[in-house]
């Protein structure tokens, strides 16, 4: 089921006398389509409007403006139960006194009219859903007798048992420990691919969003920043916020400038840039964008190395860097190129992004390695 959002907006009024005029624009004019059968990650820091967006899609929250479509049909004014959505929340809220089986069956018991099921049909549906999330052996247990990961599977089964057209997950893994989080997110991906159900997955964890989404929607302060495949969001960020929000270790930012067709960090001309006009810019370099090189162009002060198995992380310093340290990921083979107190690098042009110093928008000037012939002039 394709989900279309048109000018979707939610404004919360300010609370209390003091804040009467401080309304919050939680979701600001969203226009995008969630394609049928895909898993879409809504990603952004806490408070950026992810849950608000999800709750408007589910029907739990009424938009202040704009429309929501499921396929060709407008559902903006439909109540949640008529939208055919399954929801899973962070606190999975299972009924503690009911068995797993009863918990999963619960949504089926209130079905009315031609949707009504007889006990045998319900049993079949519950068993199917339990099997899908691999808890068919636990149906007689109470939630208190399950691990956190198993409880979350029950919650997912409960959301799937009505065969929803859309599955909405709001930070479903936050209550799980690190290892279970990894496992469960792969499980969610598997279930989504097996059922082909259109799924919206809310998370503030970029790693989580990157690993399981077909498409990522990056949000900040209620404003859509970028919607793209995980790889494109990483390789081709729309602005400085997106570039900084995605990637571990994070991108390093330098205060730099363009002068006479070269890109400068401090006293180092590091790349050629196809832009005649001199200007200050913010330069972002992905950690894998550095190459250790004897006669490289960027001169950083070497701090230390941290081995990470096949690769190593080199920590260096540069006064133009906005953070205390520059972190670069390099192959251990190049370790010998570290010189006394210096880490001398060349930069891979496609791993370097330029941003406007005022608004952080991406400046798409073409970058290339410094042409050595011109160096000799």
Binding site for ligand ADP (CB under 6 A): 12, 24, 26, 44, 46-52
Least distance in angstroms from the C-beta of 216 to ligand ADP:
14
Work out what residue 149 binds among ligand ADP, Mg ion, none; the CB cut-off runs from 5 to 8 Å by kind. none
Nearest residue (beta carbon) to Mg ion: 51
Would you say 342 and 302 are in contact if contact means Cβ atoms under 8 Å apart? yes
- Rounded to whole angstroms, how far apart are CA atoms 360 and 221? 15
Task: Return the number of the residue (14 or 71) whose C-beta is nearest ligand ADP.
Answer: 14
With contact defined as beta carbons under 8 Å apart, do 67 and 59 qualify? no
Q: What is the C-alpha separation between 358 and 122, in angstroms, rounded? A: 59
Least distance in angstroms from the C-beta of 38 to ligand ADP = 21
Q: Which does 47 bind (CB under 5 to 8 A by kind): ligand ADP, Mg ion, none?
A: ligand ADP
Complex with ligand ADP: residue 90 or 102, whichever CB lies closer: 90
**Nearest approach, Cβ of residue 65 and Mg ion (Å):** 21
Alpha-carbon gap, residue 164 to 299, rounded angstroms: 57
C-beta closer to Mg ion: residue 51 or 150: 51
| Closer residue to Mg ion (CB): 51 or 103 | 51
**How near is the Cβ of 196 to ligand ADP at its closest, in Å?**
26
Interacting partner of 49 out of ligand ADP, Mg ion, none (Cβ under 5 to 8 A depending on kind): ligand ADP
Tell me how far, at minimum, the Cβ of 170 lies from Mg ion, in Å. 6
**CA Rg, the chain, in Å?**
25
Residue 183, helix vs strand vs coil: helix
Q: Between residues 28 and 236, which has the closer beta carbon with respect to ligand ADP?
A: 28
52 makes contact, choosing from Mg ion, ligand ADP, none, with CB < 5 to 8 Å by partner type, with ligand ADP
Please report how close the Cβ of residue 64 comes to ligand ADP at its closest, in angstroms.
Answer: 12
Q: Choose the one of Mg ion, ligand ADP, none that binds residue 26, judging by a C-beta under 5 to 8 angstroms depending on kind.
A: ligand ADP
Residue numbers at the binding site for Mg ion (CB under 5 A): 51
What percentage of the chain's residues is helix, strand, coil (to nearest 5)? 30, 35, 35
Nearer to Mg ion, 90 or 211 (CB): 90
Q: Are 28 and 35 a contacting pair, CB within 8 Å? A: no
DSSP for 105-148?
A: HHHHHT--GGG---HHHHHHHHHHHHHHTT-GGGTTS-GGGS-H
Give the single-character DSSP code of 362: E
Main-chain phi, psi angles of 359, to 5 degrees: -115, 5
């Amino acid at each position: 089921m394709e989900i279309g959002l048109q000018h979707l907006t939610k404004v919360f009024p300010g609370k209390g006398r003091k804040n009467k005029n401080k309304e919050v624009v939680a979701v600001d004019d969203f226009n995008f389509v969630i394609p049928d059968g895909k898993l879409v990650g809504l990603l952004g820091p806490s408070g950026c409007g992810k849950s608000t967006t999800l709750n408007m899609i589910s029907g739990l929250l009424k938009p202040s403006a704009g429309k929501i479509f499921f396929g060709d049909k407008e559902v903006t004014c439909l109540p949640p139960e008529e939208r055919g959505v399954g929801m899973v929340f962070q606190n999975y809220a299972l009924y503690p006194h009911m068995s797993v089986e009863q918990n999963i069956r619960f949504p089926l018991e209130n079905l009315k009219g031609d949707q009504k099921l007889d006990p045998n049909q319900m049993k079949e549906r519950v068993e199917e859903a339990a099997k899908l999330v691999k808890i068919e052996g636990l149906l007689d247990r109470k939630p208190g007798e399950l691990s956190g990961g198993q409880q979350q599977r029950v919650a997912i089964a409960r959301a799937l048992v009505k065969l929803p057209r859309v599955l909405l997950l709001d930070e479903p893994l936050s209550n799980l420990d690190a290892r279970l989080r990894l496992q469960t997110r792969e499980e969610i991906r598997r279930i989504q691919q097996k059922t082909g159900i259109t799924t919206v997955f809310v998370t503030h964890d970029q790693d989580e969003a990157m690993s399981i989404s077909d498409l990522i929607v990056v949000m900040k302060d209620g404003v859509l920043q970028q919607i793209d495949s995980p790889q494109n969001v990483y390789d081709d960020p729309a602005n400085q916020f997106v570039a900084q929000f995605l990637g571990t270790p994070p991108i390093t930012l330098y205060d730099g400038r363009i002068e006479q067709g070269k890109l400068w960090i401090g006293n180092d001309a590091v790349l050629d840039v196809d832009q005649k006009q001199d200007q200050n810019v913010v330069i972002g370099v992905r950690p894998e964008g550095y190459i250790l090189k004897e006669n490289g162009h960027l001169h950083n002060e070497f701090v230390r190395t941290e081995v990470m198995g096949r690769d190593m992380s080199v920590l260096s310093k540069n006064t133009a860097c906005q953070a205390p340290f520059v972190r670069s990921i390099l192959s251990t083979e190049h370790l010998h190129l570290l010189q006394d107190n210096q880490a001398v690098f060349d930069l891979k042009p496609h791993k370097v992004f330029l941003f406007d110093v005022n608004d952080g928008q991406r400046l798409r000037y073409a970058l290339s390695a410094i042409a050595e012939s011109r160096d000799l002039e």
